[in-house]
Amino acid sequence: MAHTAIDAPVRYVDRLYDATPGTVIDEINHVGDDVAVLLLVAHEPTMTQVALGLAGTDSSNTAAAERISTKFPTSAMAVLRLTRSWKDLELGSAELVDFHVPR
């Protein structure tokens, strides 16, 4: 983060390395409501499973979901939006807004 000029708190959580989607969601559930934007960095296949699992079917970007299903490359970002508290996050409760691959 020092090279980005972004002034944001950073936490390294050992239990997220090679974690299951349930562990990732549990960790997100412990984020305080004072956090408006959360950037989660993790490995595959967990990121695909978490992004698609959290995405609600009614309001999510289906093209983004299809791209994630095909491949979630290194440095890609799934953008999800919540309308509830982090502690209430569960499968299907977020909106998949977009999927960015910066290459």
Q: Is residue 44 part of a domain?
A: yes
Q: Is residue 5 part of a domain?
A: no
Task: Please answer whether residues 49 and 19 qualify as being in contact, where contact means their C-beta atoms are separated by less than 8 angstroms.
Answer: no
| Interatomic CA distance for residues 24 and 7, integer angstroms | 24
Q: Is the pLDDT of residue 1 over 70?
A: no
Q: Is the pLDDT of residue 73 over 80?
A: yes
Confidence at 4, pLDDT banded by 50, 70, 90: confident
Confidence at 79, pLDDT banded by 50, 70, 90: very high
| CA angle, residues 45, 50, 56, in degrees to nearest 5 | 140
Q: Which domain holds residue 86?
A: 14-100
- State the greatest distance between any 2 C-alpha atoms of the chain, in Å, as a whole number: 39
Q: Is residue 25 part of a domain?
A: yes
pLDDT, tens digit (0-9, with 9 covering 90-100), for 39-63 = 999 889 999 999 999 999 888 999 9
| Interatomic CA distance for residues 80 and 24, integer angstroms | 15
Q: Is residue 79 part of a domain?
A: yes
Total of domains in the chain: 1
pLDDT above 90 covers a percentage of the chain that reads 81
Its pTM stands at 0.89
Supply the CATH number for residue 41's domain: 3.40.50.1240
Of 84, 92, 97, 95, the C-alpha closest to 29 is 84
